[in-house]
Amino acid sequence: MKRNTHLSFSDVFESCLLFIAAVEQKLLAFIFLSAHFSIADLEVAALIYGIAYNKLRMCQLLGMNCAKPTDFTFSFTGFAKRGGDTDIHSDGWGLVFYEGCGIRAFHDSLPASKSPISHLVSNYPCKTLNMISHIRYATSGACLLENVHPFQREIWGIPFVFAHNGDVPNYSFDKDSLPHIGKQQDCNNDGRAHVNYYVPIGTTDSEAIFCAILNSLRKAFDAPPPLHVLYTYLQNLASDIIKSHASDECVIFNFLMSCGEHFLFAFSWPGSRPGSSVWNGLYYVIREYPFHMASLKDCDMSVDFSKVTTKEDRVAVVATTPLTTDEAWNEFKKGELLLFYEGTAYSSAKDCKQLDDNHKEMKQCRKQKM
């Protein structure tokens, strides 16, 4: 077949978009369109494809919150496969889990599917009440270790951990001039503007958002507030972040944030990038008695949880897309904030207030931190 050596840039770009659509739909037969192009044409198309395809994809999140200390090897094994094996999230990965008031953190700029540290974590049955993990596909910030999620900071003597998936354009510029949100917008008593206590180390919009949230919390509360107050405040902060943009259609904002070893907040403002069929949201499943078999999507691995659990066990797993093929995953509603405690989801300030009132250990923990 004779190759056309005089194609316009628009011709190459259009063919490139067809190729992207083919990859998105796994119709790889479109690759044979290359027979119509010269080597130079294909080099240009490959460059355009690399830029465009990068903009169609996003990172992925994984969280786990448990009633009893539980290992995360099953879920993380499937999740890590998406880091460069069954999916293209190959720009680093991280995992943080709690041991009492302390945390263990693992970060690597290598793909999760190829990282020796990831393999270690997958095969070491660490048990925890609260865990967050993230596999990165870099769209904001270079592929460097300081840009690998989850991020950690201390506030009120409690280690907070945060990971994010999405596009939040207002937080993608100079970290010294980020928008202020919530109480952070107010001035001090002497009229001076509030100075940021938390500042990003890396260059991601995700870490900038985390710092903005913590700066606002630090300005609003001298000590950990009751759960229903914290829930309402975080819901309002998420709304402020979205509304700070000219259009909420340009915002995709999904995050996991743990507050100590017991509490995991998850928020979803889902969406797809222009031209992409990849949906970026959050799903969750709660595993509880009576337990059943579960099989991973991304590798040949199944566990019969009825044989390795007790009636007291309950585990909530949150992920960007479902990890298993035979469990009923629930998709977050747009703008929904859930608080997970002991593997149960709480979806309103009213629920959180009842939870706060009924659990003495939470009040005791708060007193110890004050």
Active site residues: 59
What is the number of other CB atoms lying within 10 angstroms of the CB of residue 83? 30
Burial of residue 11, with CB atoms counted within 10 A of its CB: 0-12 exposed, 13-18 middle, 19 or more buried: middle
Concatenated DSSP letters of 109-142: SS-TTT-HHHHHHHHS--EEEEEEEEE---SSS-
How many Cβ atoms from other residues are within 10 Å of residue 166's Cβ? Answer: 24
The pair phi, psi for residue 92, each rounded to 5°, is 115, 165
Give the helix/strand (H/E) hosting 319. Answer: strand 314-319
At 89, phi and psi to the nearest 5?
-80, 80
In 3D space, the residue among 319, 292, 318, 294 whose CA is nearest the CA of residue 307 turns out to be 292
Task: Find the helix or strand (DSSP H, E) in which 21 lies.
Answer: helix 9-24
Q: Which helix (H) or strand (E) holds 167?
A: strand 158-167
* Calculated CA dihedral for residues 255, 256, 260, 263, nearest 10 degrees: 110
For residue 193, what are the CA distances in angstroms to 110, 183, 346, 365? 41, 11, 35, 32
